[in-house]
Chains A and B, each alone.
Chain A
Amino acid sequence: MKEIRIHGRGGQGSVTAAELLAVAAFEDGKYSQAFPAFGVERRGAPIMAFTRISEQPIRLRSQIYEPDYVIVQDATLIETVDVASGAKPDGKILINTEFSPDTFDLDTEAEVITIDATRIALDIIGRPIVNTILLGAFAGATGEIKVKSIQNAVAERFPGKVGEKNSLAVLEAYHRMGAGQ
C-alpha cells in the first residue's frame, strides 16, 4: 500500500486533489481511498487530505502518519506545518515552489522535489490553481499512477474548457518531472 498526504490551504483544492488521485488510481486497476483531515474548512487555513492506493481492498481508516509521498501545495505552509513529519526515508516530498529543493531545510531523509506549479497554472489555466498540476507532477515523479488516468479523472470532474486546460497543465507538469519524454 502507498500512502499520500497532501498539505494545502483551505480553498486550494487539496481535498479534490486527494479524491482525483483515488479516482485515477482506481482507473489504473488499484483499490483506493481518499479523505480529508476533517478541519473546519476556511479559506487560507492549513488543511490536510489523504489518499491510500493498494492492490488489496483498503480497510484502514486512520489518518496517515508515515506517508510514502507528501504533496505540498503552498510552500509558505512549511514555516508553520511540519510537512515532512513521518515521511518514509525512501519517500518523496513534492513542493510547489519556484525555488530549488535545497532552499528547504526539511528534517527528513525523503527526497525533496520542487515544481513551479503556480507558474504552469498561470500560463496554461490562467488562474493560480495548482491541485491538478501537482497530480501530474506526482505521476511523473513517482510513477505510481498513469498520467492518462489523472487526466481522465480531471476531465470527468471538470467537464468542458476548464477540464481541457487542466488536462494540458497536468501533462506539462508530468513532462517537467522528466517523465514521458
Chain B
Amino acid sequence: MSQPPVQPLVDPSVPPLVLGIESTCDETGVALVRGRELLADVTASSMDEHARYGGIVPEVASRAHLEALLPSLEAALASAEVTLADVDAIAVASGPGLVGSLTVGTAGAKALALGLGVPLYGVNHVVGHAAVDELVHGPFPERFLALVVSGGHSSLLLVRDIATDVVELGQTLDDAAGEAFDKVGRLLGLPYPGGPHVDRLAREGDPTAIPFPRGLSKGRELLRHPYDFSFSGLKTSVARYLEAREASGEPFSRADVAASFSEAVADVLVTKTLRACEEHGADTLVVGGGFSANSRLRELAAERCAQAGVELRIPPIRYCTDNGAMIAALGSAVVRAGLPSSPLDLAVDSQMSLSVPVVLPPAE
C-alpha cells in the first residue's frame, strides 16, 4: 500500500476520540479515550486456554485475538455510547510482542483506519504501560521514570515526553521479573502462572531468611549495567537451595524461600529505579505492567519512594495488565503532540525499540 500519511487532527477545543487496540500477547483489548478521559475499556483474554500449556502459545493466541477483536470493538463502542463514525483516530500496539498476535490487531486497525478515513498510529506496547497512568492520575510531569515489569518485560524508561521523548535506560538481560516468578513457582511446585502463588506464599515467610543474590548490583557488573536487570542467576540460586535441601533432607520453609526470593527481586528493581531517579533528576516514578501487582514490589516501592521524596504513581491492577486503554492513552498523547500518523503499510515489529513511542512515517 502506498498512501500518503493522513495529517493529524488539529482542532484543540474538542479532544479527538481515539480508539486503541491491544493484541501483543494473550489479551485482546479495545478502548476509547477522549483527551485523558477513558470512555470504554474492554478486554478479552485467552489465558485460560494457555494455562494448560503453562504459558502463551502463539498459535492459540493469534486465533483467540481474531475471534475476540470484533466483539470487543462492538462492546467498547456500545459502552462508550458512540459509533465508529465518531472515531477520530486509531491507535494500535504494533510492537513489541508476538508476531502472530501483533498482526491480528494491526491488520484490524489498518482496515478500520482505511475504512473510516482516519489516521492510524502504530504505538509501543511497553510505553503504553506507562502512558495509561495519565488516564488515572492526570498529566505527567516534565520528566519521570517509568518501570515496566511483566511476564515478558522488565524495563526502565526515562520519559521527558510520553509521545516524543522516551529513552530506555535498562532492561533485563535474561529473564523478566514475572518470568522469574513463574519459574520459581514451578520449582516450588505451584500452579501456572506462578507469580500470584509465589506472592501469596511469600507473605507468610521471612524475607531476610535466605540471602539470595541481587543480580548486576555490585562492582564491575553494576558499573557496566547500572540500570539493567538479571534474574536468571537468582532463579538458579533458588533451584540450588531447594536441590541442596532435597538432597540432605534438611527441613526448610517454602514460605521463607518465596519471601526471600521476592525480596531479592523487589530490592533490585526498586534500588536501581530510585538510583536512576536521582541520577536523572526525576521526582516521579510510574510503575506499570502486570508484575506491578506484586505486593512486595508495591510495598518496597512505596516505602523507599517516600524516603527519597519521589512521587509514586501505580495505576490500579486492571490498567497494569495488558489492555486497550494503555494503547488509546498513548495514541491520544501522540495526537495531542501533533505527530504525523503512521503509514498504512505499517509493519509489526516484535522487537520494537522502547525508545520509539510511535512509528512515524519514513522521512521524505
Q: Do A and B come from one complex?
A: no
Interface residues of A (CB under 8 A from B): none
